[in-house]
Amino acid sequence: MSAPGISEATDLIVRAGTGDTQAWGDLYRQYAPAIFRFCRRALPTREDAEDATTEIFMKLRLKLEQYDPSRSFSAWLYRIAANHCWDLLRRRKARHEQATDDLEGLSLEAPEPNQLEQLIEERTSAEVRKALDLLGPRARMALVLRYYSDMSYDEIAEALGVRRPFVGVLLLRARHELRQALSKQSALAVGGSR
């Protein structure tokens, strides 16, 4: 995310918090494009992402006084965005999520993160987005937070409301599901081109 320096960001945040519309506009211009890209990967449609970006910045305006300047502003903003997208996905119940206790049937042979990245690089963004749409909301959000927003396990745990040790299991399952979804797409593409 291209963001201003720490003191400049803090100054913008303080000014925006006091009602300075110019500072608020600058803050929005600095961070909205990255938040939109995050939402676009986390949510099913472009329209959902546009709406979510607007709603996140409306929430940000109300929560600005809660920001702790000793912490990263962008990480805090991503946490607000992740929570908002997660709530949207949960409320819509767009996908039926596997229970968190059903690990017995899961093969632990999931690709390493670098293998997953290679698999993603070989696909168009539309193919990856379509594969992400097939995942449950929690798996999808975990992948987006980790690989597109580069959040730590602690930040992901906080954003998704799970214990930190569960984040690794969640990412393992999500990578496995994404690899399967991408493989199905490849098989369908090969079968359809015959």
pLDDT tens digits, residue range 56-76? Answer: 999 998 888 888 888 888 888
Q: Which position has the token pair 């303080």?
A: 14
Average pLDDT over all residues of the chain:
77
Domain with CATH 1.10.1740.10 in the chain: 6-92
- Quote the tokens at residue 9: 């960001």
Residue 129 CB partners (closer than 8 Å, separation 6+): 41
Q: How confident is the model at residue 184 (pLDDT cuts 50, 70, 90)?
A: confident
Q: Which fold has domain 6-92?
A: Rna Polymerase Sigma Factor; Chain: A (1.10.1740)
Residue 26: what pLDDT? Answer: 92
Which range is least confidently modeled, 3-7, 16-20, 33-37, 64-68? 3-7
pLDDT tens digit sequence for 122-178: 677 777 778 888 888 888 888 888 877 778 888 888 877 788 888 888 888 888 888
Q: Which range has highest mean pLDDT (24-33, 115-124, 168-177)?
A: 24-33
Tokens standing for 43?
């949510």
Specify the domain boundaries for CATH 1.10.10.10 within the chain. Answer: 113-192
Find the helix or strand (DSSP H, E) in which 112 lies: none
Residue 106 has pLDDT above 60, yes or no: no
Q: Which CATH fold would you assign to the domain 113-192?
A: Arc Repressor Mutant, subunit A (1.10.10)
The per-residue b/e assignment along 93-108, b for 16 or more CB within 10 angstroms, e otherwise, is: ebbeeeeeeeeeeeee
Q: Are 16 and 27 in contact (CB under 8 A)?
A: yes
Which residues have CB under 8 Å from 171's CB, separation 6+?
Answer: 142, 143, 146, 156
Q: Is the pTM of this model over 0.75?
A: no
Stated as kind and residue range, the H or E segment containing 3 is: none
